[in-house]
Amino acid sequence: MEQQKRYGHFDDQHREYVITDPQTPWPWINYLGNEDFFSLISNTAGGYSFYKDAKFRRITRYRYNNVPMDNGGRYFYIKDGDTVWNPGWKPCKTPLDFYECRHGMSYTRVTGRKNGVEASVLFFVPLKKWAEVQKLTLTNQSNEVKNLKLFSFEEWCLWNAATDMENFQRNFSTGEVEIEGSTIYHKTEYRERRNHYAFYHVNTPIQGFDTDRETFVGLYNEFADPQVVIEGKPRNSHAHGWSPIASHYIEVTLQPGESKDFVFLLGYIENEQDKKFSAPQVINKDKAHALIAELDTTQKVDQAFAELCQYWDALLNIYNVRTGNDKLDRMVNIWNQYQCMVTFNFSRSASFFESGIGRGMGFRDSNQDLVGFVHQIPSRARQRIIDIASTQFPDGGCYHQYQPLTKRGNNDIGGGFNDDPCWLIFGTVAYIKETGDFSILDEMVPFDNQPGSEVTLFEHLKISMDHVINNLGPHMLPLIGRADWNDCLNLNCFSWDPNESFQTTENVSEGTKAESLMIAGLFVVTGKDYVALCQKLGKTQEAERMQKAIDAMIEAVKKHGWDGEWYLRAYDFYGNKIGSNECDEAKIFIESQGWCTMAEIGAQEGMVAKSLDSCKKYLECEHGMVLNNPAFTKYIYEYGEISSYPEGYKENAGIFCHNNPWVIIGECLAGRGNDAWSHYAKILPSYVEEKYQTLHKVEPYVNCQMVAGKDAFKPGEGKNSWLTGTAAWMWYTVSEFILGIKPDYDGIRIDPCLPETASDYTVNRKFRDAEYEITIHPNGAQKGVKAITLDGQLVDGTVIPYSAGKHVVEVTM
């Protein structure tokens, strides 16, 4: 293994990851903002901001896959004599005397020191505000007076991030700005249909500005050596078309030991139609002035920051564990929960691997994300469920994605992914179990957002189940449609045209026999939940009807879905087996092992145990379990995108972290705690960070979607960090199945599954209006609760009955 250099470390006390070398193996980013205004920020302050929708309301510009990588962001240039430097090292890359980036919970602090001056910038989006605060503190740590020239820099995006990157014949003529005091306003297209503008403000008088990019940077210069900064003189340029930017110029004198704060504010404003202008062509700035006034002093900003920190304190106090294992505790208590909030907010839209243009909110993705998030802010999860269900069609099918700004289904992608409907049950049941709020089931929810088409949410769940039942194939297994969870197993696609997307090409659906064992398992798991819900609601007939369908599905899997040592993956268009020992390649797939073991199909016949053993034997490697084995070595027309990836990457035998937890849960249900733990630890970021910082490449504090598998050129290399269902599944797995604290309709079910080396641990769990302190004594057992006491009283069974107030629970295994 190559020499592993370290670029940072965890600081658990502050809930931060501290990066000490700016030249990380890949930009290591963080997210700012919690609800409407969002920013992505790298460890060198690269990145961009947007309002709600990274495609339709992009505030600042960012160029993906740039050279150098991660170029463009919020930059402060400090000119001290002839030396120009940035607190985050980039873009000037002037060697710093000290560099540190601290990524925390919705904030990032970047600090640089050069020639006796320290510049520290705190970036965050205050709660409920549509603005990014950049609090810059300059400190003179030398013995001489320092006369510094400070230039700020932001580059505006012309709102629609897609057309911003392509429609230059128009774009170069539309750009418009206004300058008023220390505020630069970006108002492109405001004259016509937009009722929103952005601004960049600083809370001090400025000695100059620039708003035209070519004037500021110089046509033959770069972000690393902007002409204006090199000359040390702003040009007060006023952009008309071309590329508008915002740069303030401030002269700063610092006595030895002196420190000064500057509050920069990047804000977003919406005006009502009849209040757009204060004079012809002049934007109405009232709301901007008001927003600025709320955040124009260090004191106000510090207060807003304190509120943000309290907000996170409260969120992270809902589920808190003390196991004595720092690596586990920091992931459970901090980073895994944090990543769940981020995936809930962004689905798969905007990361350093998702351009914010292509993909909105996924139907299946968002339902899974909310399972990782629902304990944090249940009311937001509730709204999300309604939004998602509103994109369903009357037959139970649904749009695969919808846009966050409009909440409308995305026509470009369409529907037909036959696993999608089941996930609505997964998400809704998790919400009700967490909150006890059955009233959500009575909410009237439309189809395809059409007013007048509303039926109850319960009805949506019912048609979701029916969608599977109404789309069975020749083996009575679910037809796969466009694809199931694995977007790349495109069995009805048959594409020879490299210019068409596997995801959207017209599928052949007439006469298809393509069936999915993954959906079969998913149907049984979510079906059991649905049946229990119906029973809870007194809908006995419906419960019985669905139980029959589940029993039939189980029989179909046992009969047509078992390959001898593991579950098959699918049948193709022609009815041939996929994921069978009979196949030349990809003899075994992880998804069906995960879902069918979670469904415990054929447990009595030994299928579950055999399947789990096969995962260890064929899929597991040093870095986790691969998706399929052996990898495809050639393109298979009948299978689509999966076989388009080189061996060991993505859906072709990559370690697709998302589905490792499915097998881990299968292990937990089977009571195999040692195996569950060893699979889990392999993809737990804190374990990976210790061993593989350089090899792994991406952020060591969060999970990534994919780690190169054993057949890859460089096994262990990670990609697609942050926005992945892995976050929610890691959380669901560890919180409910390993540590064993499982919300249920009437209370909390306690059923841990642990490695036999586990010591006693305590979980503090806020649940509805109750607060439980639960201490587990494993006594070397992997599974099996012997006795539970609630406030000293023996409990019957494994569910602690819910009652408001503080409770102490002791569990002996």
Pick 288 or 642: Cβ nearer ligand BGC: 642
Residue at 421: amino acid letter: P
Q: Work out whether 420 is an interface residue with ligand BGC (CB under 6 A).
A: no
Beta strands in 55-116 (DSSP E): 58-60, 75-80, 83-85, 98-104, 107-114
**Contacts with ligand NOJ, 363-382, as mask; x by CB under 6 A:** -xx-----------------
> Using alpha carbons only, how large is the chain's radius of gyration in Å?
27
Binding status of residue 660 toward ligand NOJ by CB under 6 A: no
Q: Is 651 in the site for ligand NOJ (CB under 6 A)?
A: yes
Q: How far apart are CA 402 and CA 564, in angstroms?
A: 41
Tokens of 542: 């419906």
Nearest distance from residue 419's CB to ligand NOJ, in Å?
A: 8
148 binds ligand NOJ (CB under 6 A): no
Least distance in angstroms from the C-beta of 333 to ligand NOJ: 27
708 binds ligand BGC (CB under 6 A): no
> Binding to ligand NOJ (CB under 6 A): which residues in 289-308?
none
Least separation in angstroms between CB 481 and ligand BGC: 14
**Toward ligand BGC, which CB reaches closer, 53 or 641?**
641
Q: Which residue from 634, 613, 615, 502 is spatially nearest to 569, judged by alpha carbons?
A: 615
* Interaction of residue 651 with ligand BGC, rule CB under 6 A: yes
Which residues, in sequence order, are CB contacts of 544 under 8 Å at separation 6+? none
Note whether 55 binds ligand BGC by CB under 6 A: no
Based on the residue annotation, tell me whether 487 is a catalytic residue of this protein.
yes
487, 529, 689, 711: residue in contact with ligand NOJ (rule CB under 6 A): 487
Q: What is the DSSP letter of 441?
A: G
State which residue, 592 or 782, has the beta carbon closest to ligand BGC: 592
d(CA 21, CA 759): 36
| 94-99-102-103 Cα dihedral, nearest 10 degrees | 30
Contact between 647 and ligand BGC by CB under 6 A: the answer reads no
Instruction: Tell the smallest beta-carbon distance from residue 258 to ligand BGC (Å).
Output: 52
Closer Cβ to ligand BGC, 100 or 487, answer by number = 487
Q: Which residues of 299-337 are buried (b: 16+ CB within 10 A; e: fewer)?
A: ebbeebbeebbeebeebbebbbbebebebbbbbbbbbbb
Q: Are 478 and 520 in contact (CB under 8 A)?
A: yes
Residue 591 interacting with ligand BGC (CB under 6 A): no
If binding is defined by CB under 6 A, does position 330 make contact with ligand NOJ? no
Nearer to ligand BGC, 42 or 410 (CB): 410
**Candidate residues 348, 749, 765, 807; the one interacting with ligand NOJ per rule CB under 6 A:** 348
- Report in angstroms how near the CB of residue 490 gets to ligand NOJ at its nearest: 10
Of residues 200 and 426, the one with the C-beta less far from ligand BGC: 426
Phi, psi dihedrals of residue 258, rounded to the nearest 5°: -80, 150
First-to-final CA distance of the chain: 40
Count Cβ atoms below 10 Å from residue 180 Cβ, excluding itself: 14
The item of ligand NOJ, ligand BGC, none sharing an interface with residue 807, based on CB under 5 to 8 Å by kind, is none
Element (H, E) at 266: strand 259-270
The CB-of-362 to ligand NOJ minimum distance in angstroms stands at 5
Catalytic residue among 80, 261, 487, 675: 487
Cα 107 to Cα 31: distance, rounded to the nearest angstrom: 7
Phi, psi (rounded to 5 degrees) for 620: -70, 145
Binding partner at 569 among ligand NOJ, ligand BGC, none, C-beta below 5 to 8 Å by kind: none
The DSSP 8-state label assigned to residue 424 in this structure reads: H
In single-letter form, the type of residue at position 661 comes to: P
- Residue in 484, 514, 493, 640 with CA at minimum distance from that of residue 576: 514
Residue showing tokens 């076989």: 643
503 binds ligand BGC, rule: CB under 6 A: yes
| Angle at alpha carbon of residue 696, lines to 694 and 698, rounded to 5° | 95
Comparing CA positions, the residue from 724, 706, 725 lying closest to residue 716 is 706
Q: Select from 100-108, 309-317, 359-367, 502-510 the region that touches ligand NOJ (CB under 6 A).
A: 359-367
CB of 546 to ligand NOJ, least distance (A): 25
Whose Cβ is closer to ligand NOJ: residue 271's or residue 486's?
A: 486
d(Cα 278, Cα 534) in Å, to the nearest integer?
A: 58
CB of 334 to ligand NOJ, least distance (A): 24
Q: Does 488 bind ligand BGC (CB under 6 A)?
A: yes
Q: Which stretch binds ligand NOJ (CB under 6 A): 429-437, 481-489, 518-526, 538-546?
A: 481-489
Shorter beta-carbon distance to ligand BGC: residue 176 or 487: 487
The size of the chain, in residues, is 813
Q: For ligand BGC, give the closer residue by CB, 342 or 785.
A: 342
Contact positions with ligand BGC (CB under 6 A) in 352-381: 359
- Work out whether 765 is an interface residue with ligand BGC (CB under 6 A): no
| Alpha-carbon distance values, 300 to 110, 111, 304, 306 (Å) | 20, 21, 6, 10
Using the rule CB under 6 A, is 384 a contact of ligand NOJ?
Answer: no
* Closer by beta carbon to ligand NOJ, 362 or else 709: 362
593 binds ligand BGC (CB under 6 A): no
CA dist., res. 362 & res. 410, Å (int): 10
CA separation, residue 465 to residues 470, 602, 729 (Å): 9, 22, 22
Contacts with ligand BGC, 177-216, as mask; x by CB under 6 A: ----------------------------------------
Is 487 an interacting residue with respect to ligand BGC (CB under 6 A)?
Answer: yes
Interaction partner, residue 400 (ligand NOJ, ligand BGC, none; CB < 5-8 Å by kind): none
| C-alpha–C-alpha distance, residues 609 and 615, integer Å | 10
Residue 440 CB, shortest distance to ligand NOJ, in Å, is 24
**String of b and e for 494-520 (b: at least 16 CB within 10 Å)?**
ebeeeeeebbebebeeeebbbbbbbbb
Binding site for ligand BGC (CB under 6 A): 359, 487-488, 503, 641, 650-651
Which residues form the catalytic set?
487
Binding site for ligand NOJ (CB under 6 A): 348, 362, 364-365, 485-488, 651
